[in-house]
Chains A and B, each alone.
Chain A
């Protein structure tokens, strides 16, 4: 791994701190959605959501989230994270050549 030169290290530390804050913010948003669709819709509020239906289908809404919907959202979350992080890597100059 290339070591930073002493003069560049203060800048490097500041960039790292800013990059890390942006990363943690993105994590917080994505993990809130992760929690909401699985533990929220699939478990804690499953009974209430089961009073509704996914329009045009036989799925009760809570049941659908617990056995289908949450899994689809998980996939979207990971690919969203890939896109967000590739941008952050570039913006803060930590991307891989």
Chain B
């Protein structure tokens, strides 16, 4: 069977599986729709969280980014895993004890303020919409590259599938589909990695293969790669190139942003007890770490393979995959000196014989490293089909989690808790379904015709989550003295500063986006950590000028701090 037949078969089977699960796990109440009835076992929730969290970017792009940036790309590896330590230790157990449905629920109740709730809803909607658009785009790209349909059709198919299980099943349907999607995506990620690790380093575990010698030699793989980089004028792979402050700020913003993302936080409302919330965060990180510790190995294998295959070689001798990906513009070759050889070199490279500068002639897109890896390593066709199914699983599972946040923000936070407190449970459930349906359509539209900001979604989503949710939730638990005036002014100043800074350098004056113009030398991706610090500082200062929160709020804080008595997440009674 050829690649397309295998891909169609595997993708078709996995989609049938997801829809089958969704039909078996339809949600019958708002409790089931919002938090799966609160009965998800911790390990299953950990797996669902891992799928929820790992998006098209983690699956398709991350290994490629590491491959091209080496040590500097550690910000993503540490940032997107270290956040789970913050989540497990500082947020998840307390929010589980609080036991409602959403993040704005906590913000609104703890600070006893509809204004605080509304600010939180707006932030949650903005973060989720930008993020979900990127997922639908990922779905469209995988379809167009592997199944030969155009991006629009691919996005439509993705919309229909997500629609079926997110709109029907709510959190209950999503949870069990995500468990299945995790299994698909991790299998799809590991199979090529293990094949290549065996081939390159003679070791089946990629994490060990990465630190081993190249098969049949006594040279370590990483030394060989650093040697190639030095010869070709690229910065050394295993050494730092960016300033420490940039790496520090970016890692912190990604960690804190991870801990503050609403679609991740709400997964911890679905387990039965507080101790399960802690355990479940541990399992989530185990399942995420399997992919995140494999990615650096794939990055090094792929980088070494690529340099060995293309650098200094005649264009005419390039293998079939090179031509194929060239036609999608993900590989671009421009024979500047007309010698028919591919000069793939770093900046400032000079010819060792003549001493003259040599221009780089090859551009390779980040996404190639995972998508084309099986072809570059000459793996069987079914592995290529598997990678396509894995990319789709990663994108769809994240999209579904985000859609749930969008629908609960509207049906629960806006309607039930703010504007229509007397809405019936049945009415609220239908409002949630309707909001999810509208969310799917808007996400698909953003995915087909993305406005410019979609590619900057990482900086935006993480920066805003770091500058708003994380500080306001943390202070709500750890400080009894924090009052609504402090919390709102902190949240608003953190949000405005971060959004303003990113907008300034990304959209208003992109030509000024140089390190010497940045505040403290921190680029937009790391600015969320400054926004977070600002949020804390403003909140602590302003809260001193207003009275401490009333007794019933202080009692709520005490109750959140102890695990005993955490019932199923529940609807509050309307007075």
A1 to B563, CA, bound (A): 11
Tell me the bound Cα distance from A75 to B566 in angstroms. Answer: 25
Inter-chain CA distance A8–B307, complex, in Å, is 72
The answer on a CB contact under 8 Å between A58 and B213 is yes
Interface code A48-59, partner B: CB below 8 Å = 1, 0 otherwise?
A: 001000100111
Contacts A34-B85, A58-B211, A66-B77 given; does A1 touch B289 at CB 8 Å: no
B562 touches A16 (CB 8 A): yes
In the assembled complex, the Cα of A70 lies from the Cα of B292 at a distance in Å of 11
A11 contacts B by Cβ under 8 Å: no
Q: How far is the CB of B156 from chain A (nearest CB, A)?
A: 37
Q: Which of A43, A62, A64 contacts B251 (CB 8 A)?
A: A43
Task: Say yes or no: A78 contacts B275, CB within 8 Å.
Answer: no
Are B275 and A89 closer than 8 Å at their CB atoms?
yes
Residues in B neighbouring A16, C-beta threshold 8 A: 558, 561-562
Q: Count of B residues near A, CB < 8 Å? A: 53
- Pick from B239, B279, B293: contact of A71, CB under 8 Å: B293
Instruction: Let me know if A47 and B240 touch, CB within 8 A.
Output: yes
Known contacts: A54-B211, A58-B212. The answer to whether A78 contacts B84 by CB under 8 A is: yes
Q: Tell me whether B77 and A85 are in contact (CB under 8 A).
A: no
Contacts of B549 in A (CB 8 A): none
Query: Chain A's nearest CB lies how many Å from the CB of B302?
Result: 15
Q: How far is the CB of B227 from chain A (nearest CB, A)?
A: 12
Q: By the criterion CB–CB under 8 Å, are A47 and B239 in contact? A: yes
Say whether, besides A59-B222, A78-B88, A94-B564, A34 and B82 are in contact (CB < 8 Å).
yes
Q: Is the CB of A43 within 8 A of B562?
A: no
Asked if B153 is at the interface of the complex by the 8 Å CB criterion, the answer is: no
A72 and B289 contact, CB distance less than 8 A:
yes
Q: Considering residues A31, A42, A64, which has the most beta carbons from chain B within 10 angstroms of its beta carbon?
A: A42
Contact flags A24-57 to B (C-beta < 8 A → 1, else 0): 0001001100100011001110110010001001
A67 in contact with B286 (CB, 8 Å): no
User: Is the beta-carbon distance between A39 and B248 smaller than 8 angstroms?
Assistant: yes
Instruction: Give A24 to B244 CA distance when docked, in angstroms.
Output: 29
Residues of A within 8 A of B210 (CB): 58-59, 68
Least distance between A60 CB and chain B CB atoms (Å): 5
Q: A34-B82, A59-B211, A67-B296 are in contact. Are A19 and B282 (CB under 8 A)?
A: no
Q: Flag if A78 contacts B85 (CB, 8 Å).
A: yes
Q: Is A6 an interface residue when CB atoms closer than 8 A count as contact?
A: no
B85–A57 contact, CB under 8 A?
no
Q: Is B212 a contact partner of A57 (Cβ separation < 8 A)?
A: yes
Which residues of B sit under 8 angstroms from A75, Cβ to Cβ? 282, 285-286, 289
Across-interface contacts of A85 in B (CB, < 8 A): 93, 275, 278
Among B78, B222, B255, B275, the one with the most A-chain Cβ atoms within 10 Å of its Cβ is: B78
Which A residues touch B275, using CB under 8 A? 82, 85-86, 89, 95-96
With contacts A47-B240, A50-B239, A85-B278 known, what are 15 further pairs, Cβ within 8 A? A38-B251, A42-B74, A58-B211, A58-B221, A62-B71, A63-B222, A67-B293, A71-B77, A71-B78, A71-B81, A74-B289, A78-B278, A82-B279, A89-B564, A95-B563
Chain B interface residues toward A at CB < 8 A:
66, 71, 74, 77-78, 81-82, 84-85, 88-90, 93, 207, 210-213, 220-223, 238-240, 244, 247-248, 251-252, 255, 273-275, 278-279, 281-282, 285-286, 289, 292-293, 296, 558-559, 561-567
